[in-house]
Amino acid sequence: MQTADSAGADTTDATAMRSPDAPNLPDIVTREEWLVARRHLLQREKALTRQRDQLSADRRRLPMVEILKSYEFEGPGGTVSLLDLFEGRRQLIVQHFMFDPTWDEGCPSCTGAADEMSDGLLEHLRSRDTSFAAVARAPYAKVSAYGAARGWTFPFYSSSGTDFNHDFYATLDESVTPMMVNFRTRDELERPGNEKLRWLLESEQPSEQPGISCFLRHGARVFHTYFTTGRGTEWLGGAYAFLDLTALGRQEDWEEPKGRVASPRGAVPSFEP
């Protein structure tokens, strides 16, 4: 049966148009049917937007912790302090970049996120009095060479020889600090309900973890306002935000519905070809 959609183009009945060699693609429907389904989803999207706005407001209401410990970082201009990383702005976002001192290259997932930190995005942040920097535990010579090879223009510092990564949950090493994984202690990870993270209890240490920390400056005083890890870091750069709007999604093997792509990727945001 032939029907005309609202745009004036002819389309065929949805059942007849389904392809047997692509059964997991979206159903083919008329424009009117698509609008009904889209409007239904829009109500849920609006609810989620309101929930996200409320969550962001609550995030902004979190208390903050003053940083009294001195940290030193190595960068292109030599040794700098945490306060220097602000570059005179009020806020600082730090990507805790997984790059163990013994590695020759940085973490592929952290690299994928950093690849999306465009000059335009950095300028947008700076226009809102916010600086961005990546910090890794590898020596500065490695950090600098790796960033240059990737063509990155954002500040990339080494925290080698300091406790910065350990103090902000980005390096697990119980010889330095007690274990804390996504705000759960070792004892808490051993309890039922934390099976997905339990492998960390037996992993070799030190081990690197991804993370994003936010800092606020008031004069010369620096405060830690926020930290996230795991999937909380996947918004860095923004590709996932766009992919989540599409029919094929992120094209990763954990997503539903299954079978939409021939070779789904693992849940690793490396974005390599």
Question: How does the average pLDDT of the chain come out, rounded?
Answer: 87
Measured at the CA of 11, the angle between CA 10 and CA 17, to 5 degrees, comes to 155
Average confidence (pLDDT) over 94-111:
96
Instruction: Give per-residue pLDDT as tens, 204-232.
Output: 888 899 999 999 999 999 999 999 998 88
Residue 82, judged by CB atoms within 10 A of its CB (0-12, 13-18, 19+), counts as: buried
Per-residue pLDDT band for 31 (boundaries 50, 70, 90) equals very high
Per-residue pLDDT band for 64 (boundaries 50, 70, 90) equals very high
Over 80: is that where the pLDDT of 87 sits? yes
Over 60: is that where the pLDDT of 15 sits? no
Over 90: is that where the pLDDT of 81 sits? yes
Sequence-ordered strand ranges (E) for 176-259 = 180-181, 184-185, 207-208, 211-218, 221-228
Query: What's the whole-model pTM score?
Result: 0.82
Over 90: is that where the pLDDT of 270 sits? no
Percent of the chain surpassing pLDDT 70 = 91
Going from N- to C-terminal start, the domains of the chain cover: 2-59, 69-233
pLDDT of residue 233: 87
Q: What backbone torsions phi and psi does residue 209 show, to the nearest 5 degrees? A: -130, 145
Q: What backbone torsions phi and psi does residue 149 show, to the nearest 5 degrees? A: -65, -30
Average confidence (pLDDT) over 132-137:
97
Beta-strand relationship, 91-96 and 130-136: parallel
pLDDT of residue 135: 98
Sign of the Cα torsion 217, 220, 221, 222 reads positive
Average confidence (pLDDT) over 161-177:
90
Over 70: is that where the pLDDT of 22 sits? no
Cα 6 to Cα 29, 40, 251, 273: the distances in Å are 12, 18, 31, 38
- The DSSP bridge partners found for residue 208 are 171
Q: What topology does CATH give the domain 69-233?
A: Glutaredoxin (3.40.30)
Q: Where is mean pLDDT largest: 75-79, 191-195, 203-207?
A: 75-79
